[in-house]
Structure 1
Amino acid sequence: MAVTERTPGGTDGEGTAEEPHTGLQAAFTAGVARLRGLTGGLTDEALRAPSALPGWTRGHVLTHIEGVGLALARQARYALRGRTIEVYDGGRPARDAAIEAGHGRPAAQLAAALADALDEAEASWAAVGPDDWGRPVAYRDGTLRTVGLAWWRELEIHTVDARLGASPSGWSPELCTHLLDFLSVRVPGGIGLTVTAVDTGGVWTFGRGARVAVEGRLTDLAAWFAGRTPEGELAGDPLPELGTWP
């Protein structure tokens, strides 16, 4: 794998806290501020409109952001106490049930709950110091950095999924690079996939086997890897079918 850029505060994948942690925390702050700006004045009608995710309304997506924000913030809080805890009480079934129960709330109620969750996320991540990123967590049996990168992905991708005005074209080069690396496991076996960002000159090669080349803007490549619709065209003949998320 050849990678030309780096994620905030560390390496291109899950990484370690080899660089100052402020870059990742700044990404959280910017992402939360963006989402807050897009969700002001939500109406019941707007929440019932379709999102970019099949079968989910905007209410589903925003309720999911609320829940995952609280769940990952809890990972951080417990890690700072030297403890690990399940991501969701009751696991994935409880997470899914909460989304189904919460997506139909009146706009004012959902917006207030989302704002509270974002407040909690900001406070929890602000408490993480430079020496804390290697602390163990239950999430993926990883570290606080693993959780932090997950919150970054969830926040940025689902803000786009909500169809409130954000799009992948607004994703930072750092996020796009991280998504390419983290999601490279989606590249099917038996091919050597080379992706080239025509706007930045970045080149990445994943896997081994028959050579396949895909070109496009960096944000479009990242959207494709993330299972979202690129805004611009990708050049590939044909584009390989990517596997499931890790």
Structure 2
Amino acid sequence: MRHADVTPALVAAETGRLVETAACFRNDAVLGPSLCEGWSRGHVLAHLARNADALVRVCDVALTGTADTMYDDVESRDADIERGARRSAHDHATDIRDSAARLAERLDALRPEHADVHVERTPGGFPIPVRMVPFMRLREVVYHHVDLDAGYTFASAPDEVVALLVRDAANRLAHDDAPPSLHLATAEGDEHVVGGGETRVTGAAADVLLWLARGRTDGVRFDGPVPTLPFGG
């Protein structure tokens, strides 16, 4: 699977699983910690909802021709997440469902001629090609569903999605200013070299992805010191 192979139907399927999880939370569970350092589950849920709305803005640039950016600025993005984090479990679940529905409507409306429209993440910031929006949303939904620490893990996602996310994470590492020197080899047979490929990292793809995303080493083997990753998620 490639980035371009991610369809609105695949995004909808993983979103449906996320909505089911969100609907099961009680208020005290929403306030509990997530796998994102410094964030509660409420922060993660608020971020997922606002990310859907931000990607709606990206799609609307292509669909309507109106100039806009994904976010107004980083500060307002962070403030929206913080403001929404302590809402009730019911309000979070409703927001997740409704914001995802708004985005699903836009994804279904996108056509090939919209693919190469570029939208800045923030004014003057990194330009996002609209063709990447389905993949971007899938990555957010899967990563942060795992972050909710409520039974869904990377192993719960389709194998082809996990393989794509491992490749994407390796590619992002390779383009970091100071990439680690890794040779990733998953039990499923995929291999990715980052930097000089000095340290061999092996394990099931889901376990390798959790290490790449959140630094968790369970199920992952290293043939030397555990490398320091410059980022996660």
TM range (shorter): 0.7 to 0.9
Alignment of 1:120-159 (within 5 A): 120-139=102-121, 140-159=126-145
Residue 3 of structure 1 corresponds to: none
Moved over 4 A (4+): none
My pick for the range that moved more, 147-156 or 112-121, is: 147-156
Q: What is the deviation of 1:183?
A: 3.7
Aligned to 1:205: 193
Taking the aligned partners of 2:232 and 2:42, their CA distance within structure 1 comes to: 23
- How does the TM-score come out when normalised to structure 1? 0.82
Instruction: Answer yes or no: is the 8 Å Cα contact 2:31–2:40 preserved in 1.
Output: yes
Distance 1:130 1:228 in 2: 37
CA distance in structure 1 between the aligned counterparts of 2:183 and 2:177, rounded to whole angstroms: 10
Determine the C-alpha separation between the residues in 1 that align with 2:67 and 2:229.
33
Give the aligned residue type for 2:165.
L
CA deviations on 1:175-226 (whole Å, 9 max, x unpaired) are 333333234335844x6421111x2111111223x72221121122222222
State the alpha-carbon separation in 1 of the partners of residues 181 and 27 from structure 2: 47
Q: How many residues align?
A: 225
Q: 2, 7, 31: which one pairs with 2:2?
A: 7
1:58-207 matches, within 5 Å, as 58-89=41-72, 91-139=73-121, 140-171=126-157, 172=161, 173-186=163-176, 188-189=178-179, 192-197=181-186, 199-207=187-195
Structure 1 residues 135-189: Cα deviation after superposition (integer angstroms, max 9, x where no partner)? 2211321311233332221111011111122112123323333333234335844
Contact 2:170 2:194 in 1 (8 A): no
Shift of residue 71, structure 1, vs aligned partner: 0.5
Matched, 1:244 2:231: yes
SS of the residue 1:164 aligns to: coil
* Secondary structure at 1:213 match in 2: strand
Q: Deviations over 1:88-122 (max 9, x none)?
A: 23x11111111111111122222222221111111
The answer as to whether partners of 1:187 and 1:193 remain within 8 angstroms in 2 is: no
Q: Out of 96-105 and 133-142, give the one that drifted further.
A: 133-142
Q: In 2, distance between residues paired with 1:42 and 1:192?
A: 40
Question: Residues 123, 192 of structure 1: CA spacing in aligned structure 2 closer, same or farther, 3 A cutoff?
Answer: same
RMSD: 2.3
Report the CA distance shift for 1:231/1:80 in structure 2 as closer, same or farther (over 3 A).
farther
Unpaired runs of at least 5, structure 2: none
Give ranges in structure 1 of 5+ residues lacking alignment. 1-5, 11-22
Higher relative contact order (CA 8 A, sep 6+): 1
Rate the CA distance shift 1:176–1:206 in 2: closer, same or farther, 3 A: closer
What's the % identity of the aligned pairs? 26
Q: Secondary structure at the match of 2:113?
A: coil
- Residue of structure 2 in register with 1:234 after alignment: 221
- Matches of 1:213 and 1:24, distance apart in 2: 33
